[in-house]
Amino acid sequence: MANIRFHLGEAIPLEMHKVRTVQRLDLVPIERRLEAIEEAGNNTFLLFNKDIYLDMLTDSGVNAMSDQQIASMMTADDSYAGSATFTRLKDKLVEILGKEHFLPAHQGRAAENLLARYYVEEGMFVPMNYHFTTTKAHVMVNGGTVLELYKPEALNPVSDDPFKGDMDTDALTALIEKEGADKIAFIRIEAGTNLIGGQPVSLANYEAVSKIARSNGIPFVVDASLLADNLHFIKTREEACKDMSIREITKRIADLSDLIYFSARKLGHVRGGGIVTDNEEVFKGLLSMLPLYEGFSTYGGMSVREMEAMAVGLEETMDEHMINQGPIFIEYMVNELVKLGIPVITPPGGLGAHLDAMAFLSHVPKEQYRAGALGSALYIASGVRGMERGTISEERNPDGTDHIAAVELLRLALPRRVFTLSQVKYTVDRIAWLYENRELIGGLEFYEEPEILRFFFGKLKPTSDWQQKLAAKFREDFGDSL
């Protein structure tokens, strides 16, 4: 944390902002939570906000905006083509990333759609440090294959490796030798690996990957959706970078890459996305598709208000006391859980705290969806909504059996600057209770299962009456408490 020490010993994450607008929350009683999770088919995506106390599903489109961002929305220049807002946003991106061309898109996956259509052909490979759900789907739809070249430590839940998101560069070199550079559509590094716990990539790794890409003439693409957290970790964990400014680190990453795309639902705290590149030919190729899928080149499916606020949000992202807010709260939460002996992914990453459901519910059979069951149990015990990132989020094997995920995580996202320390402490308190009573938690089974991306709309039921027993124990221990 930035240079603030405490007299009483205990270090606490400190907000460098104050709250000036609030939204009322309700915590419904456990009897209602039992009903709500049943109505939602034990799928937290299908819960309604009115039944949720703390929404830790995601950081997408729900980070708090600053007063300056909201004020800027009133100055947005509405026009279909050539709006001054577009010019301001583009100038800000050029200033920060130093790349000449900007293609706006309505969100991150829309940028992925354009990239996959442009670069990927039947039979091509896209090596990456780790996949993201929508990225993989777009590469596959265009006939390509995603190869994940992470290092073994990436999937180790208990680790002190500061950069578990690094790509295995030996594996990358071997792949290029085996398949040939022309079979590789592009190399993708995801800043802050979403699906393995928001684990960062070191600047040294960006440099090594860039060198390999350039010497083989392969485009090097950075998914910068979670870049803000990654910048914080490079600055605080990488010895060689501790004297660099956030602006310098950002510019260095941009210089190493050929193209950067991002979801502005995360980066910049608005709702939108985009692509930047300095390659004229790539720009023209992408530009020809933009009006078909997104909108004219000066809005790309976004509202100009969001674009105006994005320019301000990107500038604010260059402030180390702004971008540390997510990571220091997550670090606090993870460290508290570790102190209590609760299985959680370490070291703390960006995006959120990730409970290790494989270990938390080791008594539940793997086929009964440990991370999903933990998500239901936590909601019942606390009104906190997390997101299953485990076997339910995988597709079935071709023979119809479940593909058991390598990691079973319950992600508790901490949208940036949204929750207070008390709310984090409440969540830790309820997780601790749940851990002490984990033997009461049982498994889940599908009763409605969509064929693809089943985690969004699938419905499950408990394999026994464990949820009633858990609620009864809650009443026994907590009386009439909410």
* Residue of 188, 266, 416, 459 marked catalytic: 266
Structure tokens given for 312: 């301000």
Q: Which residues bind ligand PLP (CB under 6 A)?
A: 60, 107-109, 132, 134-135, 190, 194, 223, 225-226, 263, 265-266, 273
The minimum distance between CB 447 and ligand PLP, in angstroms, equals 28
* Residue of 45, 77, 117, 133 marked catalytic: 133
SS (H, E, C) 386-399: CEEECHHHCCCCCC
Question: What span, in angstroms and rounded, lies between the C-alpha atoms of 366 and 105?
Answer: 39
The minimum distance between CB 72 and ligand PLP, in angstroms, equals 21
In the bound state with ligand PLP, the residue whose beta carbon lies nearer, of 205 and 382, is: 205
In the bound state with ligand PLP, the residue whose beta carbon lies nearer, of 72 and 225, is: 225
Please indicate whether residue 266 is annotated as part of the active site. yes
Q: Which residues of 180-218 are buried (b: 16+ CB within 10 A; e: fewer)?
A: eeebbbbbbbbbbbbbbbbbbbbbebbebbbebbeebeb
* Residue of 163, 419, 455, 474 marked catalytic: 455
In the bound state with ligand PLP, the residue whose beta carbon lies nearer, of 131 and 151, is: 131
Please indicate whether residue 389 is annotated as part of the active site. yes
The minimum distance between CB 283 and ligand PLP, in angstroms, equals 21
Question: What span, in angstroms and rounded, lies between the C-alpha atoms of 71 and 469?
Answer: 50
Please indicate whether residue 455 is annotated as part of the active site. yes
In the bound state with ligand PLP, the residue whose beta carbon lies nearer, of 60 and 216, is: 60
The minimum distance between CB 203 and ligand PLP, in angstroms, equals 18
The minimum distance between CB 59 and ligand PLP, in angstroms, equals 8
Question: What span, in angstroms and rounded, lies between the C-alpha atoms of 421 and 409?
Answer: 23
* Residue of 51, 55, 223, 258 marked catalytic: 223
Helices 246-256 & 203-215, crossing angle to 10 degrees?
Answer: 20
Burial class (CB in 10 A: 0-12, 13-18, 19+), 177: exposed
In the bound state with ligand PLP, the residue whose beta carbon lies nearer, of 107 and 376, is: 107
Structure tokens given for 122: 């039947």
Q: How many secondary structure helices (H) and strands (E) does the chain include?
A: 18, 14
In the bound state with ligand PLP, the residue whose beta carbon lies nearer, of 58 and 236, is: 58
In the bound state with ligand PLP, the residue whose beta carbon lies nearer, of 109 and 164, is: 109
Closest CA to 13 of 334, 286, 295: 334
Please indicate whether residue 133 is annotated as part of the active site. yes
Angle at 53 between CA 51 and CA 56, to 5 degrees: 110
Q: Are 374 and 410 in contact (CB under 8 A)?
A: yes
The minimum distance between CB 389 and ligand PLP, in angstroms, equals 12
The minimum distance between CB 351 and ligand PLP, in angstroms, equals 8
Structure tokens given for 192: 């802050």
* Residue of 132, 299, 360, 369 marked catalytic: 132
Question: What span, in angstroms and rounded, lies between the C-alpha atoms of 323 and 251?
Answer: 16
Please indicate whether residue 132 is annotated as part of the active site. yes
**Nearest residue to ligand PLP, by Cβ distance, number only:** 108
Angle at 347 between CA 343 and CA 351, to 5 degrees: 90
* Catalytic residue positions, numbered: 80, 132-133, 223, 266, 389, 455
